[in-house]
Structure 1
Amino acid sequence: MKYKDNIQGVVSLQPDYLGFIFYERSKRHFEGTFPAIPDGIKTVGVFVNAEQSFIKSTVEEHALNAVQLHGDESASYCEDLRAVLGNDIEIIKAFSISDRFDFNNLNVFTPFCDFFLFDTKGKERGGNGILFDWNVLQRYDVEKPFFLSGGIGLQELNQVQSFLKSKAGEYCYAIDVNSKFESEPGMKKIKELKKFIELTKT
């Protein structure tokens, strides 16, 4: 999310999470203050290889409920960040998925992260608007819930519903949507989002 009026429009749909990118090289980089956001919606700060002191100050400034790490952060980084933030702030570690991704590499992260997020490996750190092959997740056997991300829009609704009913969808905690619902980076299409949310709940 980026623009205040647009944020309020999305808030009216009552999503579970709202993401704000605190990475200056992103086209969706957020600056300023949040409009009123109900307590039932968790706010997430997205960071890329950031100093932990910057993450901590940003969490405090915006009263964030969660942080998403979308860079090359190591397990030891996540361990240190957990100590810095405490247990009340959710830590979501993002991974770019390719056909040869080794899920065994995630085991060292599990003690320090609340969720994983699986996104498409692309030229940008997220927001590429491209699906990855969800069949890769048939190999997922780590007992940690994950967010499914990467190029998900209205056209992928049937695939999402099928995936959630599959064995691979057993640990799918949330569906992360972004660029497929934008008219420009950071500007969400409210009507299309509303339709997606309504249809995923049926």
Structure 2
Amino acid sequence: MNKEDQNTTKPTPSPSEKARVKLKVCGMKYQDNIEQVAATQPDYLGFIFYNKSVRNFDLEYIPEVSKNIKKTGVFVDAEIDEVIKNIHLHHLHAVQLHGNESTDYCKKLKSYDIEIIKAFSVDYNFNFDDLKPYETVCNYYLFDTKGRLAGGNGYTFDWSLLKNYPSTKPYFLSGGIGIEEIENVLSFLHRQESKYCYALDVNSKFETDPGLKNIELLKEFKDHVITKEEQLK
């Protein structure tokens, strides 16, 4: 992706014309499990580089996965040199910034030909005006549930708050999405507030242990949500 693409906000099609919603599986940690999840063909795989997380990725290298899967490094207020080092070491396609990273921080990463996903923690007090400074310095927003942890709190926020979304920038929906949320997710994807929903981000609700994903649950979710939505287009 070149700089011109990163700086340009493209109009988002109506829900009936919109491409199928993408799937990101985050918090990957174990080699065999990474390969098993990759075989289900999500669009993004997330690797957390944050040593305070129980899902901190500490393998020497990310295993080889399909070129169609975007390897995403998740960072929380990391030194920018650390982010750049991991971009090169693991051949990352995207970085997800889950802390209080500044707009200047995002700008510095833009030159590395990588997607930038800026995460925001949402509750009833969230001010969507906080997005404005980031409009030209990231490719996507990610909305997660505000809680005790920087991410992975395991419960959803009130998605109806996205009725107040003021931007046209595509976003990732995150926070406590699991099998039990399938009907709510499908309902959300057919409401106006999902117009700019680019991807669903899943993590803890699909785990048997932190970082270890249940493959059958992921397949079930993908079949009932991602594949079903694609068939309806």
After TM superposition, the score normalised by the length of structure 2 is 0.84
Secondary structure at the counterpart of residue 202 of structure 2: coil
Equivalent position to 1:120, from 145, 148, 153: 145
d(CA) in 2 for partners of 1:23, 1:31: 10
Deviation per residue, 1:100-147 (Å, 9 max, x gap) = 211122011010100000000010111110110111101002111000
Q: For residue 142 of structure 1, what is the aligned residue in structure 2? A: 167
CA distance in 2, matches of 1:75, 1:39: 29
Would you identify which runs of 4 or more consecutive aligned residues in structure 1 move more than 2 Å? none
**In the alignment, what sits opposite 1:46?**
74
SS of 1:155's equivalent in the other structure is helix
Q: 1:3 aligned to 2:30? A: yes
100, 103, 107: which one pairs with 1:79? 107
Matched, 1:17 2:44: yes
- Could you tell me which residue of structure 2 aligns to residue 95 of structure 1? 120
1:67 to 95, 98, 103: 95
Unaligned runs of 5+ in 2: 1-27, 229-233
SS of the counterpart of 1:151? coil
Structure 2 counterpart SS, 1:176:
strand
Root-mean-square deviation (CA, aligned residues, Å) is 0.8
Higher RCO, 1 vs 2 (CA within 8 Å, ≥6 residues apart): 2
| Offset of residue 79 of structure 1 | 1.8
Which residue identity does 1:137 align to in structure 2? L
CA deviation after TM superposition for structure 1 residue 76, in Å? 2.2
Q: In the alignment, residue 26 of structure 1 is paired with which amino acid?
A: S
Unaligned runs of 5+ in 1: none
> Equivalents in 2 of 1:76, 1:110: separation in Å?
12
Percent of pairs identical after alignment? 51
2: CA distance between counterparts of 1:25 and 1:100? 26
TM-score (norm 1): 0.96
**Structure 1, 168-177 or 67-76: larger mean CA deviation:** 67-76
Alpha-carbon distance in 1 for matches of 2:152, 2:30 = 17
